[in-house]
Each structure stands twice: as structure tokens, then as C-alpha cells.
Amino acid sequence: MNKYAISTSLAVLLTSISGITQAEESTSSLATRPSSAAKLAQQQPVSQERAENAIQQMEMLFTGSSAYKQISNNNSGAVSAGIQEAEKLRKQAHQALENNNYEDAIQLSNEAKESFFNVTRQADSEGALAKKHASDFKHRLSSVNALTTALEQVATDAGKNPESALKDIQGMINEANGLAKKDKYVDGRKILDKAFLSLKIAIDSIKEGTTVTAQKDTSPKGIYEYEVFRNDTYKSLIEMLMEEGRKLAIATDPDFLKDVKKGDAIRKEGIAMGEKARYGDAIKKLGESTSVYKHAVRLAGVPIID
């Protein structure tokens, strides 16, 4: 081997070592900024030795880097498709070398490496997003657990039995945890959001109902005012469900909307009667409106303690 060939081999070997080391430390940097050695290699004439070294450098990425092991274990569709494309280019580079097509072998090995780096960046991005989803799920679960404890305490203080509601909530938590175990944190978070809303509604309902009961009197007007407040409570729950419609997908449900419209109409009649001091009729109408509102809330899968 002459001095020129030795010099060429040394340069390419240094390029290989530098490329692998940098791939381990900063994949994205390698993918976007060619090294000085790589630029030197591009200026050298095409030869079998240069093609073999290019293949060797490519192989060290695919078989000797921890990055490849990480992306190989990634279940993302986009990452899997990227790996397949990189492997295809890798195979074509080897085929070109076997056919003594050294220029194509070098070109394809470079394309395979570039594809490899793109996949690695994709995997890194998705990994960061997955961590965020997992963190969001964990925080929401903590909030749900805290509200569950609060519901138990509030119900006990008010003399209510929360067993049925708590059973529903626990079912949601179990379902969410099951999805989380499959790394479906986004879907699990949606279930927890529903559980969180259910708990909040149940707690608010008990608190407000207890407050009104403690303050009401037994006169027709007092009973009417209690029914207005009770109806207001469930109307506010309906409004909460409408605000959370993007999560619960209930705001567009025909049966739910039918109940809301019906409850609003009956409520309007009851309020009008109350303003004319027709308290007996008003109380009856407001009771009907509240029943319709409660039915709408239950359609959303939200347990009610009343």
C-alpha cells in the first residue's frame, strides 16, 4: 500500500471513529453538520477502499451504537417506517459494493446514515412527548385520588352514602391505569379527566345541598327558594359538562341536548310562576326541571349523590 493509500485509510478510519463517538453523544449534531474529515473524504477519488470504509462506518452505526438499540425497541409507526427505510438503504449499499459500484456504495451508505440520524431524532422527539404524557397522567391521577378522599369526607359529614359513586370512580381509575400500563397515557388521561369532573360535581352537589338544607325554612316561599337553589346547582353542573364537552364528547349528544333543552324550558316556567308567588306550582315545576337535569348528568356517566 503506497503512502497516499495509507493516508487515505487513516483519514477514513479517523472519520469512522469520530462519527461513531459523536453519534453516541449528539446524534442530531452529526445529522446536520458534516465533520471536517467527512468533507475531506468527499474530495477523495472513488476507490474500493474508500467504499469499504464508508460501508464499515455505516455498519458501526447500525450494529455498534446504543442509539440503534433504542430506536429498534420503539413501537412508533413513524420510527418503525424510518428504520425500515434506513435498513433498505443499508442493504442497497452492500449490494452496490458487491457489484463493484463504489460510487453508489458510498452514496447509499451516506444516505443510510442520514436516514438513521433522522429516525433517531424522531425517536428522541417522541420519547420526550411520551414522558410529558406520562407525567400529565401521573399528576391527574394524584388529583383524582385527592378528590376521592375529599368526597368520602364530605359525604360522611353530610350523612350521605358515597359508595355507589366511589365504585364508579374506582372503575374509571382502574380503566385508566390499565391504559397507562399499555403506554396509552393520552387515553388514560381522558378517563381520569372524566373521573375528576365526576368527583368535583359530586362534592359540589353535596356541599351546596347541605348549605341550602341548613338555611331553608318551611314556608312556601322558603321551600320555593330551596328548589330554585337546588335547580341552580344542577344547571351549573350541566354548564360544567358543556364546558368539558371536548373531553367528554357529551355536548353534542342528541339525548343529552334534548334533556338540557327540556330542563331549561320547564325551569323557565317554574321561575315565572315563582315570580307571581304561585309557589306550589313553581316548586313542582322546578322539581321536574331538576329531575331532567339529573338525567342529563347521568347520561354523561357522572355519578350523582343526592
pLDDT > 80? residue 22: no
pLDDT > 80? residue 68: no
pLDDT > 70? residue 19: no
When computed from its CA atoms, the radius of gyration of the chain, rounded to whole angstroms, is: 34
The stretch 42-57 carries a mean pLDDT of 77
Predicted pLDDT of residue 9: 39
**pTM passes above 0.85:** no
Predicted pLDDT of residue 217: 66
CA 63, CA 65: separation in Å to the nearest integer? 6
CA 298, CA 208: separation in Å to the nearest integer? 19
The DSSP-derived string for 77-136 is: HHHHHHHHHHHHHHHHHHHHHHTT-HHHHHHHHHHHHHHHHHHHHHHHHHHHHHHHHHHH
Range 133-155 burial, b when 16+ CB lie within 10 A, else e: beeebeebbeebeebbeebeebb
Per residue in 24-34, pLDDT (tens digit) is 443 344 344 44
pLDDT > 70? residue 56: yes
Least reliable range by pLDDT among 34-48, 83-97, 210-224, 270-284 = 34-48
| Top-confidence range, 41-45, 76-80, 136-140, 175-179 | 175-179
Binned at pLDDT 50, 70 and 90, residue 190 comes out as confident
List the domain boundaries for the chain.
Answer: 3-128, 130-299
Predicted pLDDT of residue 210: 58
pLDDT > 70? residue 211: no
Mean pLDDT over each residue of the chain, to the nearest integer: 75
Predicted pLDDT of residue 216: 56
Predicted pLDDT of residue 8: 37
CA 86, CA 61: separation in Å to the nearest integer? 11
CA angle 41, 45, 49 (to 5 degrees): 75
Predicted pLDDT of residue 20: 40
